[in-house]
Structure 1
Amino acid sequence: MAKTAGPTRQQIETDIRKKQFAPIYLLMGEESFYIDRIADMILKNALTEEEKDFNLTTYYGADATMADVVLACRRYPMMAERQVVFLKEAQAAKTGHQLKWDQLQQYALKPTPTTVLVVCHKGGSLKAAALTKAIVQSGGVVFESAALREFNIDRAVSEYAGTVGCKLDPRAQAMLIDHIGFDLALLAKEIDKLRMTLPVGAVITPESVAENVGISKEYNNFELIAAISKRDKVKTFKIINYFRSNPKKNPTAPITSLIFNLFANVLIAYYARTTDERALMEALRMKTPYQLRDVRAAMRCYNATQALRIIACIREFDARSKGIGSNRNEYDLLEELATKIFCV
């Protein structure tokens, strides 16, 4: 999610809230959300609104020179404990002489104690080992915000929801990620919007996501799974036809994974030999009864033998959709898979 040379992001944020500021912050990486978050926290906690008039200076990489930035850092605050200097969009510096990082390195060797310098470099890491070493040795912070991937996006979204005082149903969270992707800034914006529509402490459900985020409740991967679990043939083929008309937004690979997970969970639930909700949730490693809903619906429509046969059909579909033994359209193959599921 995010890497640091030194303190973790959580430690950095805790120190900022305690008004324990480093002389220099180098915030860099592919995930801009955490860069902006830390920069905003510094501004909010380091200066009052009145102090900002004379003690806040902002430069942008496209038109700043490092000499100007360093000169601003050497100044002393006016009627305040500290001043804050921002160098934003440092990655936008034009090729040439504008941002001479060796000048910042020299400043980092002996930074002004009453200045907080914040350098924001988005889109990747700054390749300047000597500079980062000098910043760390002077008590500064070097923070690298790595791009979010499939394996850590869920934790990042859950963590953000927790920091703003709301809870996300796992399925609602999956709908948001499926619709928006791994852009944490956009995900956070939608969570904020949803939070404003619900009572304090309410859980964000799939229904509230469908209603407020503009996701078609009828035509998304999770509604397809719900239709298959209930053996609703009409709705299943209706959704597949919709997916066919929007192939870029509805690739079959994640759909295949969800169908496989449904019937794999059905098998596990059968062999758990219990109908107790809590016991089933534990066996399936699910956190809420809502996640169990599709599995229980499928168990009413498919027995264990059918689930096993369906898993074999899914494996065959997966191979054929990748061009092994077939060159048919992936949505034709998905329709064929749905037909086999309903006919087992």
Structure 2
Amino acid sequence: MINKIWNDIERGRFSPVYLLYGTEQYLLNETKQKMIAGALQEEELDFNLSVFDLEETPIEVALEDAETFPFLGERRLVFLHNPTFLTSEKTKSKVEHNTDRLQEYLASPVDYTILVIVAPYPKLDERKKLTKTLKKESVVVEAKPLTEQELKKWVADEVKILGVSIEEAALDLLLTLTGTNLQVVANEVNKLALYGGHQVSITTEMVDKLVARSIEQNIFILVDKVISRDIGEAVQIYYDLLKQNEEPIKILAILAGQFRLIYQVKQLTSKGYGQQSIGSTLKVHSYRVKLAAGQARAFTFEQLQKIMLLLAEGDYEMKTGKRDKKLIVEMFILKLA
């Protein structure tokens, strides 16, 4: 759906009102940039582009601007950010909004302005009359985190646009290394396509060589090495993190977070929860749940409980200075074997 909206925008086919909502920042930003590039010439930006933060500006003031005729151009583009009045969330903002004014505008929007309401929230309050009206009278762009299958399709479509393809194993490795942050994935896909040049397909070797690993992804791989009993490689990953000036206490904390996730996923799986349900319950992306479930199969509940105890002991030793911090993490990795 979003690709169709993007295609219309790029071809200059605009609607009077758009509602962008969701927490996937890349989709929000990309849509806004496409709108700016498609709606206005560079020389018009100073005159016909307006951006309002509704936590600081009343909606009626922003709408007055939207109803102002464009200067030296055919249309105006007006962004309204942070419409907390569309949610059930409490806000510290002291700005009062005459939301009836927005209701009136939606009933008869001006034909020379593209009004874009940007709501970076996981959900809107569907009980509110204004929310219902806005969804009915606008083009809705839902910028929600993509599922694993949607993410894979997005990458496949993106590399196709860039003139290459990607092997299935390379795609799996890419998502393992980058996680599910779409901005990070997009940056790495562009880098891989550029590096590939005339090469038809992105390979696992290319991904392994070029994709930057976050500390969280390095910890995930470290755990995988422990599971496969490749302790030497696991320790080497730890040394590499130290060379990158990562603090042992931070490494230990992320290890604890990963094993806590593994334990929770194993526990919920044993109770019959599916991947999506576990993700919703734990408030983590379903792809992370899938990866943690794969790691969980290597451990019993008893082993995971012992590991959590070792992590707690390591944390205590670090905070009390009983042993060298670097040695504490290394000893933990060796004990996992």
Q: TM-score range by the shorter chain?
A: 0.5 to 0.7
Deviation at 1:127, TM superposition (A): 1.9
Equivalent residue for 2:318? none
Q: Percent identity?
A: 24
Deviation at 1:200, TM superposition (A): 4.2
Equivalent residue for 1:329? 307
TM-score by length of 1: 0.62
Given candidates 186, 189, 199, the residue that maps to 1:188 is 186
- 8 Å CA contact retained: 1:125, 1:144: no
Matched, 1:171 2:165: no
Q: Deviations over 1:259-278 (max 9, x none)?
A: xxxxxxxxxxxxxxxxxxxx
Secondary structure of the residue aligned to 1:189 is: helix
Q: Deviations over 1:148-183 (max 9, x none)?
A: 344543223333333343323333322232222111
Deviation at 1:221, TM superposition (A): 4.3
Deviation at 1:136, TM superposition (A): 4.9
Equivalent residue for 1:260? none
| Distance of 2:19 and 2:58 partners within structure 1 | 17
Matched, 1:46 2:44: no
Given candidates 291, 297, 308, the residue that maps to 1:318 is 297
Deviation at 1:33, TM superposition (A): 1.9
Secondary structure of the residue aligned to 1:76 is: coil
Deviation at 1:146, TM superposition (A): 2.1
Given candidates 193, 212, 232, the residue that maps to 1:238 is 232
Aligned CA distance change for structure 1 residues 223 and 147 (closer, same or farther; 3 Å) = closer
Matched, 1:115 2:93: no
Q: Which runs of 5+ in 1 are unaligned?
A: 1-7, 258-314, 336-344
**RMSD over aligned Cα, in angstroms?**
4.0
Given candidates 18, 24, 27, the residue that maps to 1:34 is 27
Q: Partner letter of residue 57 of structure 1? A: S
Equivalent residue for 2:7? 14
Secondary structure of the residue aligned to 1:75 is: coil
| Distance of 1:70 and 1:173 partners within structure 2 | 45
Deviation at 1:25, TM superposition (A): 0.5
Equivalent residue for 2:67? 74
Q: Partner letter of residue 318 of structure 1? A: R
Equivalent residue for 1:299? none
- 8 Å CA contact retained: 1:168, 1:205: yes
Deviation at 1:209, TM superposition (A): 2.5
| Distance of 2:195 and 2:187 partners within structure 1 | 13
Secondary structure of the residue aligned to 1:57 is: strand
Q: Deviations over 1:292-340 (max 9, x none)?
A: xxxxxxxxxxxxxxxxxxxxxxx9x83743237x8543877974xxxxx
- 8 Å CA contact retained: 2:76, 2:113: yes
